Amino acid sequence: MSTRLSVIIPNHNGSTFVETCLKALFSVRHQPFEVIVVDDCSTDNSVELISKFPCRLIRLEKQGGASRARNTGARNSLGNALFFIDVDCVVQDDTVLHATNAYENNRDLVIGGSYTPIAFDDTFFSTFQSIFINYSELRSLEPDYIAGHAMVIGRDVFEKSGGFPEDFAPIIEDVEFSHRLRRSGQRLIMDSAILVKHIFNYDLGKSLGNAFRKSKYWIAYSMGNRDLTADSGTASVELKFNVFCSSLIWFFSLCLVIAPATFFLACIVVVLTIDLAVNRSLIRAFFREKDRAFGIKATLYYSLVYPLAVAAGGAAGMAYYLQSHRKTV
């Protein structure tokens, strides 16, 4: 059977992105079989913008989140292969072709792609995040999870799985879905050719806010899943070690201010050196994808500032889990 690829896009108030997303999809040389956009009760002019394109628009009567939108799109699709992306993602000229070929070569597997290293809006904080996610998601051929921003799955496999969880945390529903697939014996693989450019529009506040929010819900989920120390995509062992080292660096820095001593300075140097050594592959990516100035800035941001938001989010996630757990006991 020839591959009929259905691209499924959930949308909620995505007017900032949706035109760019759909314009890219309908201008690629290898057209998908169909494009389905499921609008999750948007209050902006998203629907008006989507209606300008030759896609199938499905409007939910009640807001249900990205999972329900994806599941609705899948149920109403006609293709034998489903390609999930997000409304703030921009396909490359060959993304759809690579997704189609990947399915044809691995029909029984679930296949993941990632973001391009350079963000669509190539500012420091956006491209920092894009490089970080690209590196983290593609470093393992058989990953712990596949993100919903670039997932290829056979329609039959998806239907058998039960779909994305609709009664779940506000984010990381794709992680739960992937874990459920793996527990059922389903194999997941990554394909580095399936790439989408992500529109972040990040500044410092949005970058740290994203780190806090993602860490909060990931920690809460991991506590319930009892896999806090797992090496899982962006929640990698390297990042967790980085947060630990950053905490030590800031502690020794405070000690140095209170009681200046060579010992505290030496501790800072030793901990930072070990941290950079453990995270050397990601740091190489910072320097490889951009220039030296970006690499230095990104390394300092990742080592000293970004972990503060991750740690704060982790603490909030523990509190969130414990509070939720008490309510269910």
Measure the CA–CA gap between 220 and 319, rounded to whole angstroms: 8
Rounded to an integer, the average pLDDT of 65-74 is 97
Q: What is the pLDDT of residue 303?
A: 98
Greater model confidence, 126 or 170: 126
Measure the CA–CA gap between 135 and 298, rounded to whole angstroms: 14
Residue pair 35/87 in contact (Cβ under 8 Å)? The answer is no
Rounded to an integer, the average pLDDT of 26-55 is 96
Instruction: Give me the percent of the chain exceeding a pLDDT of 90.
Output: 94
Rounded to an integer, the average pLDDT of 199-209 is 98
Residue pair 129/202 in contact (Cβ under 8 Å)? The answer is yes
* Predicted TM-score of the model (pTM): 0.95
Q: What is the pLDDT of residue 1?
A: 67
Q: What is the pLDDT of residue 169?
A: 77
Reported confidence tier of residue 62, pLDDT bands at 50, 70, 90: very high
Q: pLDDT at residue 25 above 80?
A: yes
Rounded to an integer, the average pLDDT of 225-242 is 93
Q: What is the pLDDT of residue 235?
A: 92
Q: pLDDT at residue 329 above 60?
A: no
Q: What is the pLDDT of residue 289?
A: 97
Q: Which residues of 69-84 are buried (b: 16+ CB within 10 A; e: fewer)?
A: bbbbbbeebebbbbbb
Rounded to an integer, the average pLDDT of 219-243 is 94
Encode pLDDT of 234-267 as tens digits: 999 999 999 999 999 999 999 999 999 999 999 9
Q: Which residues of 244-265 are buried (b: 16+ CB within 10 A; e: fewer)?
A: ebbebbeebeebbeeeeeeebe
Q: Is 39 helix (H, G, I), strand (E, B) or coil?
A: strand
CB within 8 A of 294, min separation 6: which ones?
A: 124, 127, 286, 287
Where exactly are the structural domains of the chain? 5-202, 223-328
Q: What is the pLDDT of residue 174?
A: 96
Which has the closest alpha carbon to 147: 83, 206, 207? 83
Q: What is the pLDDT of residue 47?
A: 97
Q: What is the pLDDT of residue 194?
A: 98
Q: pLDDT at residue 325 above 90?
A: no
String of DSSP letters for 61-84: SS--HHHHHHHHHHHT---SEEEE
For the chain, the C-alpha Rg in angstroms (whole number) is: 21
Pairing mode, strands 81-84 and 89-91: unpaired
Mean residue pLDDT across the chain: 96
Residue pair 262/269 in contact (Cβ under 8 Å)? The answer is no
Q: pLDDT at residue 187 above 90?
A: yes
| 5-202, CATH topology level | Spore Coat Polysaccharide Biosynthesis Protein SpsA; Chain A (3.90.550)
Q: What is the pLDDT of residue 328?
A: 56
Q: What is the pLDDT of residue 327?
A: 60
Measure the CA–CA gap between 9 and 304, rounded to whole angstroms: 36
Q: What is the pLDDT of residue 16?
A: 96
